[in-house]
A and B are shown apart, each in its own frame.
Chain A
Amino acid sequence: MVDAQPPLLKITAIGKQFPGVRALHNVDLTLNRGEVLSLVGENGAGKSTMMKILAGVHTPDAGTIELDGEPIRVNSVREAQAHGIALIHQELNLAGNLDIAANIFLGNEPHKAGFIDRKLIHAQATKHLQRVGLAFPTDTLVADLTIGHQQLVEIAKALSVDARIIIMDEPTSSLAQKETENLFKVVNDLRSQGISIIYISHRLGEVIELSDRVSVLRDGENAGELVREEISHDAMVKLMVGRDLSQFYQRNATEPGEVVIEADRLRTPAHPNRELSFSVRQGEIVGIAGLVGAGRTELLQTLFGITPAVGGTLKLDGNKILPRRPLEAIMAGIALAPEDRKQHGLVSQMSVRENSSLARLRIDQKAGMIDFTAETNVANEAVEKMDIKTPHLEQVIQYLSGGNQQKVVLGKWLAMNPRLLLLDEPTRGIDVGSKQEIYKLMEELAASGVAILFVSSEMEEVLGMADRALVMHEGAITGELSRDQLSEETIMQLATGNKAAA
């Protein structure tokens, strides 16, 4: 062998346990010099945890990390930086009130006798900005930059501390098309300068375009690895879900029935200038795709009465409704399983029984008194129907796994027999097994005549489950795709505001 030196980074048998969840188990990963390694996997597969361990945010319970063949410890973000590892978060960590130069050197300011050396800072910052192709004066306030440009500042910041390994966690999730292309150019430049990049993305198209190698995680374990010539959409998906796609998403669309929900020029408070018109029929599963921040969650929240509409009309089963509070939406037959389970979906200190009955309580009450028999029945039914794995009904819900928590949320709404079920990222952060059960449930509910509207950032989920998809961009619906028009490319085109391409 010519190249006898060890790989730049070698991770062996990493394990990490969170209360109630085994996030990582026995995971191996290697990274070579000047390589773009993509880490893919479904939501909850452990990608982010893995990267946070590398960046010193989490400490692993087991396993070793070797850099240049030497074992290292990364117990803090500072230690990771000292080893030349930088993480670019999904949510950027910049101080908007400071200028570009100040952000690049935040915490590392070159100084003379305690005074910041401004001249040096700006000169250095200009140099780093050039490497990422950003031609702004270094005294521009970061808050005045677009997200795409802010991201480049973050990368420049990583370069300023001589990062050798840059980890990018979903860097394109809120970027427009142009910004994405620009980022790819920067990534390619960095690679040619010998910097190694770990790239995490749901967008398999991007992964194919950028990667030298792909490592796939599934349920916190290694699921397989693909080298350049093996990388393809189907190969990655197969490793991600652990079986052929056709078995994973079993959607047998039937002829949809009457229109259940019809929005006509509906305007949400988040995007008051956008008019949204769409409908969902009985037995239909409609997906809403788009980038983070496209206004998808806001649309569901408006339908559910959390942020009441500021204009337009909404009809449920032909009757005009305008929910001003969640209770009104619920009583009309609308249910929402929110994106942020912990914050919105559950009362985490309460038991499985109390959580699953929370919505139904009002209906079974006897003059204000809780009907405890009815409550236990509701909870038992949810556990049975949803196959919730819990030792007993009194188990405090925060100790259940993400998948089981989500099933409790769904069980709570099924007890209400909704006409319209809104699901916001229904499988975020849950294991593959639970995922499949949730898809099966969606299928069954649709077959029983429920109209389902779901938001998903996971392309495979939209492609696999939706009978029809609405694609949103900056608060507007930029396109509607029937099942045979659905493809990753058309969705991405519409999601980045490229109307003509559809």
Chain B
Amino acid sequence: MKKNILGILGLFIFIFIFTAMSSEPFLSAYNMQNLIKWSSLYAIMGIGVTFVIITGGIDLSIGSVIGLVASLMALAIKKEWDPNFAVVMLLGLSLGIGLIHGLLITKVKLQPFVVTLCGLLFYRGISRWMTDNQTMQYPGTDKLDSLFSGKVLMGSFGLPAPLFFLIVVAILAAIFLNRTIWGRYLFALGNNEDGARYSGIETDRLKIVAYVICSFLAGLSGLLFAYELDSVQPAQTGEFYELYAIAAAVLGGCSLRGGQGTILGVIIAAAVIRLLRNSINLLGISTHLEYAIIGMVILCGVAADEIIKRVMAKRRAAQLHAAKK
């Protein structure tokens, strides 16, 4: 598991140094702040979907939940609701969405892909309908502004607010996964659901928790994105973000078969994806190639990981065989 992280960390450092040497503005405070901010936003989504992927499931609705929360927040401000109240309500709504996903998957026994694919369509449609598909601005709600998109100055370098959200989320997530019995149960059920159930683990309940965490973090991301962008386009905000989140999780060492994943790996992988975009822009590579390059890097990363794993397994089996003789 530790070796997984080393691989992705190496990739990050390589691209970082390469870009830093080839492009002057890369290391500028402005660019760095942007990189940190966007990496943090991606990582928060990625951590959410990691929980679901560990159970062997998938969540395709993340981008639409982001769009829904951002749209409704704008609507609430327009209707002059108390913004703090709106934030609490919307985070509650996200929890509810996750709960519904989890219940449909565990109790009605629908496939996660189907449930969240329908969610993707449904929440996007609702966002557009409720807002009349109008682009909306976020007028100054100063306290929330500085909470979600402010900066903490360290000397002259301003650390963006999403970074602090990420730190809190990452620490809590890592403790949950690695230190609590529920984290252990999550890995166990992702690996062998029947085996976990036969050991007295309440697999349904834990799966629901995973979907709740995922949607909650999507909702939180929705607020962060909206305040960051200062506006929301109901048809577009958050579109395809679930795919970036899943890509970060997979590149960070999660297996879609379930039972595997690390928080640190996902954070670094999210940073790699943002870094790639940044490099492509700065190095003057045609931005039309952006998706192709990101896709290729993820594919190579995952393939390398799989091959290394297989070689290691073989070596271990051989060692064991030798030890027996």
Q: A-side interface residues toward B, CB under 8 Å?
A: 17, 19-20, 22, 304, 306, 325-327, 330-331, 336, 338, 343-350, 354, 358-359, 361-362, 365, 368-370, 391, 396, 399, 412
Contacts and interface: CB of A to CB of B under 8 A. Distances in A.
B225 interface: no
Given A20-B317, A344-B198, A345-B198, 4 more contacts: A346-B192, A349-B192, A362-B181, A362-B200
Nearest to B255: A349
A137 B266 CA distance: 63
A327 B196 contact: no
B316 A347 contact: no
Interface residues of B, number: 27
26 contacts: A17-B321, A304-B198, A325-B202, A326-B200, A330-B200, A336-B198, A343-B194, A344-B194, A344-B195, A346-B195, A347-B188, A347-B196, A347-B199, A348-B192, A349-B192, A349-B259, A350-B187, A350-B188, A354-B188, A358-B199, A368-B182, A369-B180, A370-B180, A370-B181, A396-B316, A399-B320
A370 B316 contact: no
Contacts of B316: 396, 399
A412 B199 CA distance: 9
B278 interface: no
A22 B201 CA distance: 33
A347 B179 contact: no
Contacts of A358: 184, 188, 196, 199, 201
B197 interface: yes
Contacts, number: 80
Contact of A369 (B179, B194, B200, B259): B179
Contacts of A347: 187-188, 191-192, 195-196, 199, 259
B189 to A, nearest CB: 8
Given A365-B181, A368-B182, A350 B199 contact: no
A327 B201 CA distance: 7
Nearest to A359: B199
B223 to A, nearest CB: 28
A391 B322 CA distance: 12
- Looking at A343, A358, A359, the one whose CB has the most chain B CB atoms below 10 A away is A358
Contacts of A19: 317
A336 B194 CA distance: 13
A359 B197 CA distance: 10
A354 B198 contact: no
Contacts of A22: 324
B8 to A, nearest CB: 20
B184 A361 contact: yes
A326 B184 contact: no
Nearest to B178: A370
Contacts of B196: 347, 358
Contacts of A369: 179-181
Nearest to A367: B180
B323 interface: yes
Contacts of A325: 202
Contacts of A327: 200-202
A459 to B, nearest CB: 27
Contact of A370 (B179, B320, B321, B323): B179
A306 B199 contact: no
B198 to A, nearest CB: 5
Contacts of B182: 368
B191 A350 contact: yes
Contacts of B323: 391
Contacts of B184: 354, 358, 361, 370
A-B residue pairs, 8 tightest by C-beta: A330-B200, A327-B200, A358-B199, A344-B198, A347-B191, A347-B192, A347-B188, A368-B180
Contacts of A348: 191-192, 195
A391 to B, nearest CB: 7
Interface string B55-69: 000000000000000
A343 B317 contact: no
B140 to A, nearest CB: 41
Contact of A306 (B180, B197, B320): B197
A349 B191 contact: yes
A369 B179 CA distance: 6
A393 to B, nearest CB: 15
Contacts of B197: 306, 326
B121 to A, nearest CB: 34
B317 A345 contact: no
Contacts of B200: 326-327, 330-331, 359, 362
Given A361-B181, A391-B323, A343 B199 contact: no
A458 to B, nearest CB: 22
Contact of A338 (B187, B198, B201): B198
A374 to B, nearest CB: 11
Nearest to A301: B198
A326 B194 contact: no
Interface in B165-208: 179-182, 184-185, 187-188, 191-192, 194-202
Nearest to B204: A325
Interface string B204-224: 000000000000000000000
Interface in B295-325: 316-317, 320-321, 323-324
B107 to A, nearest CB: 14
A8 to B, nearest CB: 35
Given A20-B317, A20-B320, A361-B181, A326 B191 contact: no
A330 B199 CA distance: 8
B20 to A, nearest CB: 39
A306 B181 contact: no
B198 A326 contact: yes
Interface in B136-190: 179-182, 184-185, 187-188
A115 B188 CA distance: 52
B185 to A, nearest CB: 8
A473 B222 CA distance: 60
Indicate the member of B185, B188, B200 with the most A CB atoms within 10 Å: B200
A306 B201 CA distance: 12
Q: Which of A17, A348, A361, A362 has the largest number of chain B CB atoms within 10 A?
A: A361
Nearest to A361: B181
Nearest to B199: A358
A133 B301 CA distance: 61
A330 B192 CA distance: 19
Contacts of A365: 181
Nearest to B183: A370
Contacts of B259: 347, 349
A35 to B, nearest CB: 36
A343 B192 contact: yes
Nearest to B324: A22
Given A348-B191, A368-B182, A370-B184, A399 B317 contact: yes
A17 B317 CA distance: 11
Contacts of A396: 316
A343 B195 contact: yes
Contacts of A326: 197-200
A11 to B, nearest CB: 24
A346 B317 CA distance: 19
Nearest to A389: B324
Nearest to B198: A344
A219 to B, nearest CB: 13
A347 B184 CA distance: 11
Nearest to B202: A327
Contacts of B188: 347, 350, 354, 358
